[in-house]
Amino acid sequence: MTSSTELETNPGNSNSVRVFICIEIPASIKDRVAELQQGLRQHDAKISWVKPSNVHLTLRFLGDVATSHIPAVGAAVTRAARLSQAFEIEVGTAGCFPSAKRPRVFWVGLTAVPNALSKLHVLVEKELAREGFAPDDRKFSPHLTIGRVRSPQNATRVAEDLIATGFEPESFQATEVIVMRSELNPRGSIYSPLYKLSLEP
Would you state the pLDDT for residue 53? 95
Q: In angstroms, what CA-CA distances link 30 with 20, 91, 179, 195?
A: 19, 11, 20, 22
Residues annotated as catalytic are 56, 143
pLDDT-based confidence at 14, cuts 50/70/90?
Answer: low
Find out whether 92 and 170 touch, Cβ atoms under 8 Å: yes
Would you state the pLDDT for residue 64? 96
pLDDT at 6 > cutoff 80: no
Find out whether 2 and 196 touch, Cβ atoms under 8 Å: yes
- The string of pLDDT tens digits covering residues 45-72 is 999 999 999 999 999 999 999 999 999 9
CATH of the domain at 164: 3.90.1140.10
Gap between the Cα atoms of 104 and 196, Å rounded: 31
Number of structural domains (the chain) is 1
Gap between the Cα atoms of 99 and 106, Å rounded: 10
Would you state the pLDDT for residue 168? 97
Would you state the pLDDT for residue 92? 98
pLDDT-based confidence at 186, cuts 50/70/90?
Answer: confident
User: 169: burial class by Cβ within 10 Å (0-12, 13-18, 19+)?
Assistant: exposed
Find out whether 81 and 197 touch, Cβ atoms under 8 Å: yes
Half-sphere exposure of residue 150: CA atoms within 13 angstroms, side-chain side: 8
Gap between the Cα atoms of 87 and 173, Å rounded: 6
Range of the domain at 70: 2-9+17-198
- The string of pLDDT tens digits covering residues 122-162 is 999 999 999 999 999 899 999 999 999 999 999 999 999 99
pLDDT-based confidence at 187, cuts 50/70/90?
Answer: confident
Give the sheet arrangement for strand 16-24, strand by strand: 2-3, 190-198, 176-183, 16-24, 56-66
Kindly tell me the sign of the dihedral angle through the C-alpha atoms of 138, 141, 144, 145: negative
DSSP string, 18-84: EEEEEEE--HHHHHHHHHHHHHHTTS---EEEPPGGG-EEEEEEEEEEEGGGHHHHHHHHHHHHHT-
SS3 for 164?
helix
- The string of pLDDT tens digits covering residues 73-126 is 999 999 999 999 999 999 999 999 999 999 999 999 999 999 999 999 999 999
